[in-house]
Amino acid sequence: MKKNMLRVAAGAAMASMLFSACGSTSAPNAGTSAAQTETQTSSAADASAAKASSEDSSASSASGDKTEITFWHSMGGVNGQALDYLINKFNEENDKNIHVTAEFQGEYDDAINKLKSAQIGNMGADLVQIYDIGTRFMIDSGWVVPMQELIDADGWDVSKLEPNIAAYYTVDNKLYSMPFNSSTPILYYNKDMFDKAGITEIPDSLPAIGKVADKLVKDGGAGEAISLSIYGWFFEQFCCKQGLAYVDNGNGREAAATKVAFDSNGAAVNILKAWKDLYTSGAAPMVGRGGDAGLVDFSSGKSAMTLGSTASLKQVLEDVNGKFEVGTAYFPKVSDSDKGGVSIGGASLWALDNKDDAKKAATWEFVKFLVSPESQAYWNAQTGYFPVTTAAHDEQVFKDNLAKYPQFGTAIDQLHDSTPESAGALLSVFPEARQIVETEIENMLNNDASPEDTASKMAEQINSAISDYNLVNG
């Protein structure tokens, strides 16, 4: 009897656990959109409650209908505070009676996934911040008003934008989205270790890093020469540095890509060979995966170099806290003869087509405000992202910031030294491709696989993802 009851209990427990597991994975649309409405309404309520006080003054002075627009973004922490400051400023200062409600939607990946779910119910935002690798997806989605339309309608001068940044988001000669927070990868190095080892020339390529590695460890007192995290973005940048395409159809810019190009043009094998050499010689041990995996080793004074985004500069300087002098240099080439540049990362602003002209106009006003020299100079100083508007360089805030953090100059020079041709690839399944690249690099280093095999494995998996995507979304 007792045993029977236990069985029933076990059975029931199993059933409920199983079903709840299936429930959480099976109907993502229903599930996420329901959850979404909830968070959206609650965060909207919070935001409006918080802003109610500051609004009162501006609302009473202005008359007529207020245009409400919703802005989805992925800026948390310090960056989120800086963005909130700009939004509040816009809400208070704009004379067109526009009110922007900002909603934080989690990381870039979360935000784009929420958008996908929200668009089914047609309850999305007016303006969304989407990461670089979501560009092709957004263009193909048919949900957006190309930024160029708004620009042309207003006669706004596109040449105000940093050309190499605008190039990334320009497809078919149309600027599809407004660049907002852009970064490039750079090489961070520990100046004290380089001085101690007596190295005056900062390595500018992966093989050059390998050459100084021993000296840095032996004489410079480094625990490891470089903490090179396994990050798909770096792989993409190494392609740009070689001036070689990642995917076909003009790097996915002339038309949607149908397959990868890095296997046939040799870009991948070059990268993987250089990477593996650094690993086997001990110069670049495994430090993990993702954008910031290598930063801790650097900040804690263990590694003499690391690769990272310019947007991490502030964080790195804060973490190092004067323990040693931080130097910055150009992102390394794959071989000494490479002539390419770097492309940008970060995110841009997409206007969604909600069939409402008043909102469209209001969205454009807000976008214009965000990329104004003044806003961009503030944004740059607070976050370390590039000012996307060249005129921001004349702002005092920007000059002060550059004087305080001269390391940031490297990033700007590097961007100006690149050409729009190294704008980087567009690919619908980029998030997945990045994962595949990272996994295969890990496999290569751990299992001592050959660079050639690894490259073909990457190509095979990404190609199958591309053809799957084109099959059902074409």
Interacting residue ranges for another protein, rule: CB under 8 A:
2-3, 6-7, 9-11, 13-14, 16-23, 25-31, 109, 113, 116-117, 119-120, 137, 140-141, 223, 285-290, 296-297, 300, 302, 428-429, 431-432, 435, 438-439, 442-443, 446-447, 465, 468-469, 471-473
Nearer to another protein, 140 or 453 (CB): 140
Nearer to another protein, 205 or 428 (CB): 428
Closest CA to 452 of 276, 220, 288: 276
Give the three-state DSSP class for 457: helix
- The answer to whether residues 110 and 335 touch, using CB atoms and an 8 Å cutoff, is no
Q: Is 106 left (phi over 0), alpha (psi -120 to 50) or beta?
A: left
- Nearest distance, CB of residue 289 and another protein, angstroms: 5
- Nearest distance, CB of residue 251 and another protein, angstroms: 21
Nearer to another protein, 28 or 250 (CB): 28
- The answer to whether residues 466 and 257 touch, using CB atoms and an 8 Å cutoff, is yes
Nearer to another protein, 7 or 416 (CB): 7
- Nearest distance, CB of residue 192 and another protein, angstroms: 17
- Beta strand 303-309 with 185-190 is antiparallel
In single-letter form, the type of residue at position 324 comes to F
Nearer to another protein, 78 or 286 (CB): 286
Rg (CA), the chain: 24
Distance CA 365, CA 369 (A): 6
Nearer to another protein, 92 or 110 (CB): 110
Closest CA to 468 of 425, 426, 424, 428: 428
- Nearest distance, CB of residue 256 and another protein, angstroms: 12
- Nearest distance, CB of residue 137 and another protein, angstroms: 7
Distance CA 205, CA 274 (A): 9
Closest CA to 404 of 374, 376, 384: 384
- Nearest distance, CB of residue 300 and another protein, angstroms: 5
Distance CA 128, CA 114 (A): 11
Nearer to another protein, 228 or 342 (CB): 228
Question: Would you state the structure tokens that stand for residue 323, as one six-digit string?
Answer: 């323990």
Nearer to another protein, 76 or 290 (CB): 290
Rounded to an integer, what is the distance from CA 289 to the centroid of its chain? 15
Distance CA 88, CA 86 (A): 6
Closest CA to 154 of 361, 388, 375: 361
Give the three-state DSSP class for 353: coil
Burial track 453-462 (b if 16+ CB lie within 10 A, e otherwise): ebbebbbebb
- DSSP label at residue 208: H
- Nearest distance, CB of residue 336 and another protein, angstroms: 29
Nearer to another protein, 368 or 457 (CB): 457
- Nearest distance, CB of residue 216 and another protein, angstroms: 16
Nearer to another protein, 28 or 406 (CB): 28
Question: Would you state the structure tokens that stand for residue 400, as one six-digit string?
Answer: 């002060």
Angle of the 77-93 helix axis to the 28-61 helix axis, nearest 10: 40
- Nearest distance, CB of residue 34 and another protein, angstroms: 10
Give the three-state DSSP class for 179: strand
- Nearest distance, CB of residue 409 and another protein, angstroms: 29
- Beta strand 224-227 with 144-145 is unpaired
